[in-house]
Amino acid sequence: MTADIRFAPATGIGSLPGGDAREAARTATGSFEDFPFLPELPARGPGADMIGRTAGMLVELYARVEPSGWRIGDRPGRDTKRARSWLGEDLDALEEFTQGYEGQLKVQAVGPWTLAAALELRNGEVALSDPGACRDLAASLAEGLRLHLEDVRARVPGAQIVLQLDEPSLIAVLRGHVRSASGYRTHRAVDRQVVEAGLRDVVGVHADGPVVVHSCAPDVPFALLRRAGAAAVSFDLSLLTERDDDAIGEAVEGGTRLFAGVVPGTDTALSDPAGSVMGVRTLWRRLGLHPGLLAEAVTVTPSCGLAGASPEYARKALAHCAQAARSLADNPE
CA distance to 195, 209, 237, per residue, from 201 (Å): 10, 14, 28
* Contact (Cβ atoms closer than 8 angstroms) between residue 120 and residue 126: yes
**pLDDT band, very low/low/confident/very high, at 293 (cuts 50, 70, 90):** confident
User: Facing residues of 10 across strands?
Assistant: 300
Taking 80 as the threshold, does the pLDDT of residue 19 lie above it? yes
pTM above 0.75, yes or no: yes
Extract long-range pairs of 267-270: CB within 8 Å, 24+ residues apart. Answer: 267/309, 267/310, 267/313, 268/313, 270/316, 270/317, 270/320
* Contact (Cβ atoms closer than 8 angstroms) between residue 37 and residue 28: yes
Q: Where do the domains of the chain lie?
A: 21-330
Measured distance CA(306)–CA(308) in Å, rounded? 5
180-206 pLDDT tens trace: 888 889 999 999 999 999 999 999 999
Contacts of 157 by beta carbon, 8 Å cutoff, 6+ apart = none
**pLDDT band, very low/low/confident/very high, at 3 (cuts 50, 70, 90):** very low
pLDDT for 4:
64
SS (H, E, C) the chain: CCCCCCCCCECCCCECCCCCHHHHHHHHHHHCCCCCECCECHHHCCCCCHHHHHHCCCCCCEEEEECCEEEEECCCCHHHHHHHHHHHHHHHHHHHHCCCCCCEEEEEEECHHHHHHHCECCCCCEHHHCHHHHHHHHHHHHHHHHHHHHHHHHHCCCCEEEEEEECCCHHHHHHCCCECCCCCCECCCCCHHHHHHHHHHHHHHHCCCCEEEEECCCCCCHHHHHHCCCCEEEEEHHHCCHHHHHHHHHHHHCCCEEEEEEECCCCCCCCCHHHHCHHHHHHHHHHCCCHHHHHHHEEEEECCCCCCCCHHHHHHHHHHHHHHHHHHHHCCC
Share of the chain above pLDDT 70, in %: 99
Average pLDDT estimate for 122-128: 93
CATH 3.40.50.720 at 21-330, yes or no: no
For 53, phi and psi rounded to 5 degrees? -65, -45
24-47 pLDDT tens trace: 999 999 999 999 999 999 999 999
Measured distance CA(147)–CA(189) in Å, rounded? 31
**pLDDT band, very low/low/confident/very high, at 76 (cuts 50, 70, 90):** confident
266-288 pLDDT tens trace: 999 998 998 999 999 999 999 99
63-75 pLDDT tens trace: 999 999 999 988 8
249-262 pLDDT tens trace: 999 999 999 999 99
